[in-house]
Amino acid sequence: MWADARLLNACAGTLAALAAVALLYAAFAALGRAVLFPLRELEVLGTPAHTTRVEIERAVAGFGGDFFTADLDALRARLERLPWVRRVEVRRIWPGRLVVRLEEHVALARWGEAGLVNVHGELFAGRLPPEVAAQLPLLAGPAGSEAEVARRYRRFGEILRPLDDSPERVILTARRAWQLRTAGGLEIELGRDRQEPVEARLARFVAAHPATLGRLARAAQPRLVDLRYPDGFALRVPEWKG
């Protein structure tokens, strides 16, 4: 056998071919593992008011993939878990950049004992310094009523505008009754929506105010107005006795 040159050449050729195939396979395997189009930059557009650079860096730490394989939905979900981030848009910019646009919550009011409601009536977990939070109105209601309470808060504000007053606190009770306190210190019991919405009762009160309460001396202004009556309202004036 070893004297057969033709056979030896054939064996050598076969081994060389097998070695070439093995090398080619190894090369393709390494190529598959290599990052050909690495992500080199993540750009955040704008200057977030409440979300810090450190929070963003922590949220994206360990995020993997290259320009084509990076899971943008996963990145979006990571960033939207930050307390002040409401919505995130992510897009690819060739050859190795991701551009992120953050939409932050805009606080409309405090919600209950803790938490904030944004201008869309959505509850979120952001925090504000106590002195800043104290300047926001207070809204409260059963779980899931945030959007409705925020909408009524705006509507009550529109109705009270002719009195140069505004809502400071709006509460929807468990029995679906509305309670309102104005920035001027007036407590208003609106009751529940029945044949007419509570806004209609408040509007009637505002319309009647100049000819009724508006004529009272400042010291005799009421502290509580009960609008739960179909054809009028009741007052509580601390200075009045009997």
Mean pLDDT of the chain: 83
Query: Predicted confidence band at 52 (pLDDT cuts at 50, 70, 90)?
Result: very high
Rounded mean pLDDT of 153-176?
97
| Choice among 1-5, 94-98, 136-140, 236-240 with the minimum mean pLDDT | 1-5
Note the pLDDT of residue 216.
65
Domain 41-104 identical in fold to domain 107-236: no
- Which pTM does this prediction carry? 0.78
Question: Closest Cα partner for 122 from 90, 150, 141?
Answer: 150
Which percentage of the chain shows pLDDT scores above 70?
79
Q: How confident is the model at residue 3 (pLDDT cuts 50, 70, 90)?
A: low
115 burial (CB, 10 Å; 0-12 / 13-18 / 19+) is middle
CATH of 107-236, one of 3.40.50.300, 3.30.1360.40, 3.40.190.10, 3.40.50.11690: 3.40.50.11690
pLDDT confidence of residue 176: 96
pLDDT given at position 208? 87
Helix (H) or strand (E) holding 81: none
pLDDT at 222: 66
pLDDT in tens, 177-204: 999 999 999 999 999 998 889 999 999 9
Domain coordinates of the chain in residue numbers?
Answer: 41-104, 107-236
pLDDT at 211: 79
164: left (phi over 0), alpha (psi -120 to 50) or beta: left
Output the CATH code of domain 41-104: 3.10.20.310
